[in-house]
Structure 1
Amino acid sequence: MFQSLSTRQKKYQNSPQKGNTKIEIPEGMYIKCASCKKSVYVKDLGETIGVCPNCGGYFPISARVRIKSIVDKKTFNEFDKQMTTNNPLGFDSYEKKLEDYMLKTEEIEAVICGEAAINGMKCVIAVMDARFMMGSMGTVVGEKITRAIEYATKNRLPIIIFCASGGARMQEGIFSLMQMAKTSAALARHDEEGLLFISVLTHPTTGGVTASFAMLGDIILAEPRALVGFAGPRVIEQTIRQKLPEGFQKSEFLLEYGIIDKIVARDELRTTIGKLLKFHHKGE
């Protein structure tokens, strides 16, 4: 199911800069914010972790930027850096698509996992990257997250997963759907050991990820105005034959109805997660 990197794939992994550590925005001095429609100076976004200084709207950020903003300096030890899929269904042009995304994002897959410390508290962290095939969950994404959970369980560490996904990866069919059960089963074993799982929902968190590990957290946090749901509004309306309330798939709506525990601004996530880890450690 898994294989080592091909010769072409290795050139991305072995490049001097491993992973994109820049805010994912087009070239140029200014970029228009999708929320307020105002122009934003590109360099300002680097200082605000991709948050618009005018309205607080969120620009997408890479998994590397997310990790850098959350974990203590020089504490991140990445797992399974060279794991890649072998195209289990022989889907036409899939390998070429993967290599294109590797070149575009400077990443091997749609999730980065590893051990780190947050405010001095050791933990395991998995961060999905929506830039890589919309963060879709194929066999490698599911396997890397499962291994990270199992490592956390074995070493009695809390795990934090930053979710950002369009759901299952269509090019891997049923193998992709199997990752829902696999990750959920690993979290069940983690829970049986009395260990902490914090799920952080970012924009967007949809499909099979929402239907599995994203909503299984002991504590579920979300960024402001994040899209969280399983199917699209039109599909749901056609299925239940009812008109849905406006914004029902936004994090604010989910908080109002008790589905998530707290909405946390991007620049406050490190502090909030650090406090939760300390509370859990003292509780043990």
Structure 2
Amino acid sequence: MDFASYHLWSQFEPALGWEDTHCQMQRGWRWTQTARSEDAQIVSFTETIWQKVGKLAQQGVYEFHRDPLLLKHPRGCERVADRLYLYYEVAVVRDRVMQMLQQYQADPWLRDREIILLNRGDESIPPPIEVCIKEAKFYLYAAFDCIIRAVYRKSVAQSRQQIEIIDFKTGIADSDLRQADVYLLAGKYLYPDCDVTASFYNLETMTSSELITATPARLDEIAHKLATIAKLHQQQLQAYQRDPTCFDRLFPPHPGTHCRSCNFNYHCTYSAAQ
């Protein structure tokens, strides 16, 4: 069955303001070569420093709440850093993550909240959600950082549970609202009897976005968009399997200065970084 995710959506279409640096060929390399074991090195993902910082910061939050006594321990940050092997990282990663651990210990944002799910950030791919819209079906993959529960009262006589899906961020880059859209669609299927909202929490600036919601009509739009992407993605992969020589027509390149930081520039004949 066709599949979709926020990650795939972001590979198809760039975030607002990033159009000049978006390249379809990178998506083509990643997906067409993955199945070829002899080319595994080509598609191996090189983690950037900033991605490493974000992953370790999330793991630190997980460790604090897995062992809540660390939140009050005078050497709690050091013990979490030991569990993350933080002292083996380069200085820029170590210092930024340690600063976030110290900030979080001083003001733990998730304290006293009912946590339904808190992921460490390095888990395997979650089970897919089967999304059905009219005659189209696809599998939706959505990996959540954190889910908390609250109670939202509509009236004295009626109350509904509210589920808030949270994505942790670091740095100063703007969040992509499409990620929240995917979370809200997934939440509709996972928690059909609840009001589902989404938000972003920045572990570095200690700020939270406003709650993001979607009407049923908006959720239908999101589902149709993902269904279209899932179908086109599979069609392109199948076309490549039938005729590998059409690769650059299926996945057109967009060379430029951004090629210098692309994970695949060494293997790309169109790369402006060569």
| TM interval, short-chain normalised | under 0.3
- Larger Rg over CA atoms: 2
Please identify which structure carries the higher helix content: 2
Q: So what's the TM-score if we normalise by structure 1?
A: 0.25
Q: So what's the TM-score if we normalise by structure 2?
A: 0.26
**Greater relative CO (CA pairs within 8 A, separation 6+):** 2
